[in-house]
Amino acid sequence: MGKIFVTGANGFVGSRLVRALVDRGEIVRALVRPGSSIGSLQDLPQDRIEYCPGDITVEHEVYRGLAGCDRMFHVAAVYKMYSPDPRQVLEPAILGTETALEAARKRGTKKVVVTSSVAAIGVNPRPEPMDETWDFNVENTETYIVAKWRSEQKALSFVARGLPVVVVNPTGIFGPGDWKPTPSGSTILQYLRWNLPFGFPTSEGGINVVDVDDVVAGHLGAMDKGKVGERYILGGENLTFAQMFQILSELTGKPGPGWKASAGVASAMGWVLEQGARLWGGEPPLTYKMARDFVGKYVWVSSEKASKQFGYAPRSAREALLRSVTYYRVHGYVP
């Protein structure tokens, strides 16, 4: 078999995916933006990795990188819930997916797995799991979520053009290797750095927590056994926000969940934090649209389809969160 091409190879999911591919004997060609860090890949056998500088929005750079590769994981994305310029999130997602997959189509790539997100599934006002048939219902929400949904539609449109595409939809990803960190990891860090005597503020609603290496296993399963044109949710355990912070409290000895903000209060807080980011820079931990659309709602899912199709079997949320906390402590993100 030929080499495997991975976009976003130095990111959180991408670097763990490259690690798993190398472990099973594959040769990986890793597309990374010129000048970006490859520290997350440096401890791997370098004779199994070929670095390819390139931009996913430039078709000929992806096409060049695909030479000699018969499979492709398109993982690259800008994972930001807030940006003062929405184009910084939309263009890599939508244009990047179109150009990367067009290059793969022209190369005759045998199979492509595209990393989407549970963000492209939607949200449930009730504490019940969604599956792949759920109708997306947050079209006017934060830019990242819109970008993920639109890029997924773009990816699936390539099936009719002859490219064998499979889409995977990970949920809230935690665990080792989140070096930037992502918004999910930033939530853990905010909790670990919380030094006030009362509990960590939370809200009604809930998310699905999954370990990064289980998501990677789901990617491999989708490549090996996923059906072309299908999407597969890669989730873990459904938790309320309060349950998630209670687990973190039990793992760390820090205060558990505290005051619960209503949707209205959270929306107001999100607006204030967003305005502060516009004035002074940085990324707010909460935005108006995220609070409006997700506080009091549930991003709970079922991964039954992936389990039946290729044996997807994630670990518990407790283990995923413990691995995340341990990574940040060992690597000096917190005292």
The SS3 assignment for 144 reads helix
Note the pLDDT of residue 91. 84
Q: Are strands 172-174 and 200-203 parallel, antiparallel or unpaired?
A: unpaired
pTM: 0.94
Residues of the chain where predicted confidence (pLDDT) is lower than 50? none
Nearest partner of 219 among 149, 270, 166, judged by Cα: 166
| Locus of tokens 């190879």 | 9
Q: Would you kindly state where each structural domain of the chain is located, as residue ranges?
A: 3-173+211-235+299-314
CA–CA gap between residue 69 and residue 112 (Å, rounded): 11
Longest Cα–Cα distance in the chain? 59
CA–CA gap between residue 74 and residue 62 (Å, rounded): 11
Q: Which fold has domain 3-173+211-235+299-314?
A: Rossmann fold (3.40.50)
Note the pLDDT of residue 86. 73
CA–CA gap between residue 173 and residue 194 (Å, rounded): 21
Note the pLDDT of residue 259. 65
Note the pLDDT of residue 313. 98
CA–CA gap between residue 246 and residue 318 (Å, rounded): 10
